[in-house]
Structure 1
Amino acid sequence: MSHVLVVNSGSSSIKYRLLDMDGRRTRARGAVTRIGEEGAELAHSSGRGDPVTRSGPFPDHESGLRAVLDAFAEAGPDLAGIDLAAVGHRVVHGGARFSRPVLVDDAVTEVIAGFGPLAPLHNPAAAEGVRVARRMLPDPPHVAVFDTAFHHTLPEAAYTYAVPDSWRSEHGVRRYGFHGTSCAYVARRAAAWLGADPAEANLIVLHLGNGASATAVEGGRSVDTSMGMTPLEGLVMGTRSGDLDPSVANYLRTAAGLGPGEVDALLNHESGIRALAGDNDMREVWRRADAGEHGARLAVDVYCHRLRKYIGAYLAVLGGRVDALVFTAGVGENDARTRERALAGLEGLGLGVDPERNAAPESGEREISPEGAEIAVLVVPTEEEWEIADQVMELLGGRG
């Protein structure tokens, strides 16, 4: 059996999943959280008995990954005793250079780190995770899979900002897009649900989690997406503002004495749903809205208004030829009220939900639009780890 260990290294965490590629099943999964902080913890589950948990301290990614390998040795599967075909690394930003997965060597690792200014919360941690994993697991090949890669098919008109040429040519200022591995997986599964060739399906994919994005997919290719050079642009998100007049930063520098770094941190971590409702968990936001809190009601209204704007825009981008709108990720998969509100008023454009189908306590892939709807509305749970593993094996030619 060929296995792929998928690793997602964040600034203070390592999430992982061991996948049996032949049996299409998860053999183990877990995470190390709060690396370098108090309260660091490892949780590892292999489906054999109780999960393994360990308390830190885990001062760095090396100690965190060592704890992960120890958990595999203790609770299984023993990585030394299985056919580990590869280690696949999720990397958020590949810049304009990486349009597909790539075998990792020292040079690639340094390029990933070099994209740190484009994704300061993600790429430096990913590069460090790659370095540590290659030292500790030197035998299998390591492959980087990029969130931005799926959006390399964006046409020039969609990815170009109307800014000075030197910004674009010398500093890489353009739209890159994110959530690409999720979009690629969901688009393929949605096409299968429709009984269509992915190369012929036109879709609007709404990846709604704490981070959120909308993507127009034409014939399996990304042709427009809401996130930009960084993940800040686009939809209102859990803690990110989404679209904002770029002059706000300069105004706040003068009016409030805030530096660029302070504004950037506030827009990424203290804005969005949290800024309006006081919480970025949509379940709590709905509870507060139902209790009559103005801020929570406003948060829901703003969130869904922005969604409708992008849905309408992408209907236009796709020329009105849309086979399905697809909800995915935590909010998209589980929040029936948000799905309903996001499509409210779009019935004349062929979009809507069947109240019973939408509210049904189901999981898995499903259709929630009314019978005979002009445009299907689907819920497709995302499986980014499987998408990463499949791309890894495709790069390696399927070899174990």
Structure 2
Amino acid sequence: MSKQNILVINSGSSSIKFAVINPQNEHEYVSGLAERLSQPEARIIWKQDGEKTIYDMPNADHDIVCQKILHLLEEQQLTETLAAIGHRVVHGGEHFKASTLINDDVVQAIEDCKGLAPLHNPAHLLGIRITQKYFPNLPQAAVFDTSFHQTMPPQAYLYAIPHSLYRDHHVRRYGFHGTSYRFVTGEACQRLNIPVNESNILCAHLGNGCSAAAIYHGQSVDTTMGLTPLEGLVMGTRCGNIDANIFNFLHQQLGYDIDRITTLLNKESGLLGLSELSNDCRTLEEAMEQGHEQATLAIDVFSYVLAKSLSGLASSLDHIDALIFTGGIGENSRVIRAKVLQQLRIFGFQLDADANANNGKNNKGIITTADSPVALVINTNEELMIARDAAQLAGC
């Protein structure tokens, strides 16, 4: 088997997602998740040919897990087919406007950005260094969540704070989910027969983390996430947009320190905080059907904030060629899609209830009527996008 496959790595602080993909025929040979690393419950979930195998690895750290993944790939004779490795990196700051091959300067630049993503970039660097150790002769590429949004104009990315904070400390809106936006934009334009460089698209990437973006002629011109992934939409456990003075209020009224408030807004808010039940949209929709008031409230707030944000993002476009729903919630929540389109009726959106019920699978993902602006569901594939970038950069 020739060397044409890409090993895709997404290294987190306590997990590693991985896949082996052929970017030419889009075949995924294996995928998996190593989770709860350095804990007694550490394990690898290995998926191949529709079957799942779990390997318990108590207390295994990133290095030990990577050795095991390498061994499993060798057993499947996949290591000899690898042409390159592609790494997801959350934050590239203003250093990177596109994916890039990894060298010492790139590693240092990712290191320099760790203050902007302290939970993510150090973990990505760990994954890069470990794979460099085990695959010293393979080209490796970094694919940044933030690079797609580097086309935003200053009016979209600057905050109305002293300009010295941007000039000296790079405080600005960066945006995330860029790899997903690139993939679904290209897919939508292909399905609708619209040239990417002439497209006007609104996109909502909805998962446990959520954001929306305005894409003009294939480039990001505005997005909802900011300096960090906390800004913007209501999310699974993140609050999204909120009065910044809440820090002072909670400190003075409740005695919370900055770490407690940061934890509250990032891990105890959003759908979980509103519902006091769950951050999982499926659980909340089931509870809503049974009359759970706070679950209903959480979904209503989530949908309204999304619709309001999409309306604002539309001001940066000439017209709307398509509204894309993607991510776990966007691809599967018929309830939220229906609510959002109803709240966007000022733009003329009209839901096709039957198409929405099957996620648009029978009509290129389209869930609106023939006389409506197009809204469609597209399953994102960030891993494939990373594999494509890595293959192109490695010249294979």
- State the TM-score, normalized to the length of structure 1: 0.95
Code of the residue aligned with 1:174 in structure 2: it is: R
Shift of 1:58: 4.1
Work out whether residues 226 and 233 of structure 1, in 8 Å CA contact, stay in contact via their aligned partners in 2. yes
Q: How does 1:1-400 map to 2 (within 5 A)?
A: 1=2, 2-47=4-49, 50-74=51-75, 76-79=76-79, 81-82=80-81, 84-277=82-275, 278-319=277-318, 321-360=319-358, 363=361, 365-373=364-372, 375-396=373-394, 399-400=395-396
Q: Which runs of 4+ in 1 moved over 3 A?
A: 361-365
Structure 1: runs of 5 or more not aligned: none
Q: Percent identity?
A: 39
Shift of 1:347: 2.4
Aligned residues: 392
Code of the residue aligned with 1:253 in structure 2: it is: H
- Structure number with greater CO (CA < 8 Å, separation at least 6) is 2
Shift of 1:77: 3.6
Shift of 1:193: 1.1
RMSD: 1.5
1:129-164 C-alpha deviation (Å, 9 max, x unpaired): 111111111111111000000000001110011111
SS in 1 for 2:115: helix
User: Which of 101-110 and 148-157 deviates more?
Assistant: 101-110
Shift of 1:361: 6.0
Distance 1:293 1:284 in 2: 11
Distance 1:199 1:344 in 2: 29
Shift of 1:302: 0.6
SS in 2 for 1:246: coil
Distance 1:227 1:237 in 2: 11
Distance 1:21 1:358 in 2: 30
Distance 1:46 1:297 in 2: 38
Shift of 1:362: 6.0
Code of the residue aligned with 1:370 in structure 2: it is: T
Q: 1:236 to 1:361 in 2, by over 3 A?
A: closer
1:324-380 C-alpha deviation (Å, 9 max, x unpaired): 00000100001111100111142231223111110126659511110121x101101
Distance 2:287 2:310 in 1: 26
1:197-236 C-alpha deviation (Å, 9 max, x unpaired): 0000100000011100010000100000000000000000
Code of the residue aligned with 2:288 in structure 1: it is: A
Distance 1:44 1:203 in 2: 36
Q: 1:299 to 1:220 in 2, by over 3 A?
A: same
Shift of 1:267: 0.8
Distance 1:378 1:88 in 2: 29
Distance 2:126 2:294 in 1: 40
Distance 1:53 1:208 in 2: 28
Shift of 1:65: 0.8
Code of the residue aligned with 2:338 in structure 1: it is: E
SS in 2 for 1:118: coil
Shift of 1:393: 2.2
Distance 1:295 1:247 in 2: 25
Work out whether residues 52 and 71 of structure 1, in 8 Å CA contact, stay in contact via their aligned partners in 2. no
- State the TM-score, normalized to the length of structure 2: 0.96
Distance 2:161 2:345 in 1: 37
User: Which of 17-26 and 132-141 deviates more?
Assistant: 17-26
Work out whether residues 110 and 127 of structure 1, in 8 Å CA contact, stay in contact via their aligned partners in 2. no
